[in-house]
Amino acid sequence: MDLAQVICWQLLLCSLAALLYGYKSPMFIWFCHYCSTLCYPVFSPTECVEAEYRHTARSTREHIIRRCRPMVGTDRPHQAPPIFKQAGGSVRRCSLAGCSGCSGRRYQYFARSCHAASVTSALSRLCCMAFLTQKNNESVFNSGTSVSVCLFNLMKVHDNQLTALPKSIGELQNLQKLTLSHNKLRELPEELWELKNLRSLQLQQNLLEHLPQGVGELTALDDIDLSDNQLTEVPDSLGNLSNLVKLNLSHNKLKGLPLGISGMKNLRLLDCTRNHLESVPPVLAQMTSLEQLYLRHNKLCFLPELSSCKMLKELHVGNNQIEMVEARQLKHLSALSVLELRDNKVKTLPDEITLLESLERLDIANNNISSLPCALGNMPKLKILALEGNPLRTIRRDLLIKGTQELLKYLRSRIQEQPDVKTEQDSHTAMTLPSQAKINVHAIKTLKTLDYSGKQEASVPDDVFDAVGSDPVSVVNFSKNELSAVPPRIIELKSTVSDINLGFNKLTSIPPDFSMLQNLAHIDFRNNLLVSLPEELEALSKLRSIILSFNRFKVFPNVLYQIRSLETILISNNQVGSVDPIKLKGLERLSTLDLQNNDIMQVPPELGNCTSLRALMLDGNPFRNPRAAIIAKGTDALLEYLRSRIPA
């Protein structure tokens, strides 16, 4: 009887049994088994035969043998080894060449929901296996078990209760992929580093506190997952893994990265999300193949400089403490398509953001950004711009609702041409002041801006005000100086000025006559020494936003409750102890209130009635309720929670 006839008879008999008894009946299963035993002599040992063998609840044994890809020309019979009748699971005999001592029997083993002790005993007696899967067992290996196997190439022992690996793991010299995830491993045996052919090592969701230096000996590795462990550091030898493509270190307790990490020249993905990193080593910039970098939920204060990472496509640094984005950090990232900076403390974006020519998604939500560079409008590939949770004062809310493309169109419309090089006319319009600084009269005439910022001066020279002449000025920027008082002559600009920036000075008080600047829409007093505001500021009926962060306020300024036009109040990083929710409710236009990092001991439930708020920031205060989990859900959920706690 030739091979074709054998197959036809087997299919015919099995089909008849299925029709007569049903395919789930014991008789059908017996037929299949009987037919398969008849056919063993004609199948090659180098071809695949699948068998399933299960333990039932009543300890009855059922098995189905299914043949696949038979091969003519073999004359050596092979029966399924008795060992597989001692443990539940699925057995495959597949083609593997060059194994002495196995008499041509080569198997893949799948253990599913069977008795771990039986599987362990069976494993110790196998000489040659190609695939092992263990899942949902309490014990897979024990100290008395020897895994005497020579041809494993894939081993999965995940979702168990493993606390240790046997030393005999080192005998699996042909192992290429090892999955030990979701166990309770606390340490790894030195013998593991003998697996020179290992390409993938999955150790996520264990209890590892230490990674030995020996990991650097696994030079064939291209993927290693160490996420969700208890690691506080990783060895410098990790840099020896020059073939590594993916490295996942997320959800650990890492405080730093080793300098040797620069040796991973082929690394494309590095995930360090949710660790305790305060900085990243400069050598990270040498990883020229890096395409994705995840640094979310750490303690970074600066954006890393990645000068040689010209292949980088995604940079995720959300939920850190970054305050500044500089041009030098961006200029080499021309391939970057995703930049995530959400939930940081960024105050401004540089015009050089346009250097990111390939940028498609920019996420700067929940920062301290009050204005956007108009140059953003010239980024044609930008598809998504996330801005929610920022105290934007130059862009109307209705414009933000219209979406990214409308916003970019608006920014383009505001771009004003500025000279790229200094001309002879410019030299005549720049006046030299006694302080050796220069004031650009051209900017006064065309941009209506009086800029004397960053001079580190204790006072503003009269020549600065004289340069204005009769020209209308709408923006005054005296920030980043050493001013201890508001320049008196600023009142001369009361008829036209709408925006004043006196941040980063040493102001201790604001004079009452400051209220004469009744066209003011935006005031920036951040990073000064202020403890109060004069009641006379109530006259500023056009004021829309005021920034008082990083001062010395112990009491929320009462005058702010009286300025009904206010839309944004930023008073973070002070010592404010409380706010009056009844008076705040009277500010019907107030949409952003930043009270982060103050001394608020109790959040009044009535604050939930301030339904005009779209961004309420309370992090960093000593109150116990509401808890951080509620605050993390966002302003709407927070206000709803507060309303639910208002006494009936």
| DSSP secondary structure letters along 287-325 | -TT--EEE--SS---SPPP-TT-TT--EEE--SS-----
CA-based nearest residue to 365, from 335, 344, 393 = 344
CA quadruple 193, 195, 201, 205: dihedral, nearest 10: -50
CA-based nearest residue to 381, from 325, 331, 341, 337 = 337
What residue has token string 């980088």?
Answer: 312
Whole-number pLDDT of residue 104 = 34
pLDDT band at 85 (very low <50, low <70, confident <90, very high): very low
Is the pLDDT at 143 greater than 60? The verdict is: no
Strands 107-112 and 89-93: antiparallel
Round to whole Å and give the CA distance between 375 and 382: 12
Mean pLDDT to the nearest integer, 23-39: 59
pLDDT band at 553 (very low <50, low <70, confident <90, very high): very high
Alpha helices in 338-437 (DSSP H): 397-401, 404-414, 424-429
Round to whole Å and give the CA distance between 464 and 482: 16
Is the pLDDT at 122 greater than 50? The verdict is: no
Whole-number pLDDT of residue 138 = 45
pLDDT band at 393 (very low <50, low <70, confident <90, very high): confident
Round to whole Å and give the CA distance between 633 and 209: 32
pLDDT band at 417 (very low <50, low <70, confident <90, very high): very low
Q: Which residues are within 8 A (CB) of 442 and not within 5 positions of it... i.e. 6 or more apart?
A: 419, 425, 426, 429, 430
Round to whole Å and give the CA distance between 167 and 183: 17
Mean pLDDT to the nearest integer, 378-395: 85
What residue has token string 């990490």?
Answer: 261
**329 token code pair:** 């950090």
Is the pLDDT at 78 greater than 60? The verdict is: no
Q: Which residues are within 8 A (CB) of 531 and not within 5 positions of it... i.e. 6 or more apart?
A: 508, 509, 551, 552, 553, 554
pLDDT band at 400 (very low <50, low <70, confident <90, very high): confident
Phi, then psi, of 409 in degrees rounded to 5: -65, -40
Is the pLDDT at 489 greater than 70? The verdict is: yes
Is the pLDDT at 566 greater than 50? The verdict is: yes
519, 495 Cβ separation under 8 angstroms: yes
CA-based nearest residue to 544, from 499, 575, 506, 507 = 499
Mean pLDDT to the nearest integer, 347-370: 89
pLDDT band at 167 (very low <50, low <70, confident <90, very high): confident
Q: Which residues are within 8 A (CB) of 512 and not within 5 positions of it... i.e. 6 or more apart?
A: 534, 536
How far is CA 595 from each of CA 242, 502, 604, 619, rounded to the nearest angstrom? 48, 20, 13, 8
Q: Which residues are within 8 A (CB) of 399 and not within 5 positions of it... i.e. 6 or more apart?
A: 406, 407, 410
pLDDT band at 286 (very low <50, low <70, confident <90, very high): confident
pLDDT band at 545 (very low <50, low <70, confident <90, very high): very high
583, 605 Cβ separation under 8 angstroms: no
**557 token code pair:** 């300024």
Q: DSSP letter for 569, please.
A: E
Whole-number pLDDT of residue 420 = 41
pTM over the 0.75 mark: no
Whole-number pLDDT of residue 250 = 95
Per residue in 221-240, pLDDT (tens digit) is: 999 999 999 999 999 999 89
Is the pLDDT at 268 greater than 90? The verdict is: yes
Round to whole Å and give the CA distance between 343 and 409: 26
Round to whole Å and give the CA distance between 450 and 473: 7
333, 308 Cβ separation under 8 angstroms: no
Whole-number pLDDT of residue 315 = 95
Is the pLDDT at 610 greater than 70? The verdict is: yes
Mean pLDDT to the nearest integer, 335-364: 90
pLDDT band at 436 (very low <50, low <70, confident <90, very high): very low
Question: What single string gives the DSSP state of each residue in 358-382?
Answer: T--EEE--SS------GGGGG-TT-
Round to whole Å and give the CA distance between 224 and 201: 5
Q: DSSP letter for 124, please.
A: H
Helix (H) and strand (E) counts for the chain? 11, 26
180, 169 Cβ separation under 8 angstroms: no
Task: Using a pLDDT cut of 70, give the percent of the chain over it.
Answer: 72
Round to whole Å and give the CA distance between 52 and 112: 11
Round to whole Å and give the CA distance between 537 and 534: 6
Round to whole Å and give the CA distance between 80 and 49: 9
Q: DSSP letter for 274, please.
A: S
Alpha helices in 57-204 (DSSP H): 116-125
Average pLDDT, the chain: 77
Q: DSSP letter for 237, please.
A: G
Q: DSSP letter for 67, please.
A: E
Residue of 506 and 83 predicted with greater confidence:
506
User: Which of 227-236, 247-256, 386-395 is predicted least confidently?
Assistant: 386-395
Round to whole Å and give the CA distance between 292 and 270: 6
Whole-number pLDDT of residue 151 = 55
Question: How many CB atoms sit inside 10 A of residue 144's CB?
Answer: 8
Per residue in 87-107, pLDDT (tens digit) is: 333 333 332 223 333 333 333
Report the interhelical angle of 3-21 vs 26-39 (nearest 10°).
170
Round to whole Å and give the CA distance between 180 and 225: 10
Whole-number pLDDT of residue 18 = 64
Mean pLDDT to the nearest integer, 181-189: 93
* Long-range CB contact pairs, 624-628, < 8 A, 24+: none
Mean pLDDT to the nearest integer, 324-329: 85
Mean pLDDT to the nearest integer, 414-436: 41
Mean pLDDT to the nearest integer, 306-314: 89
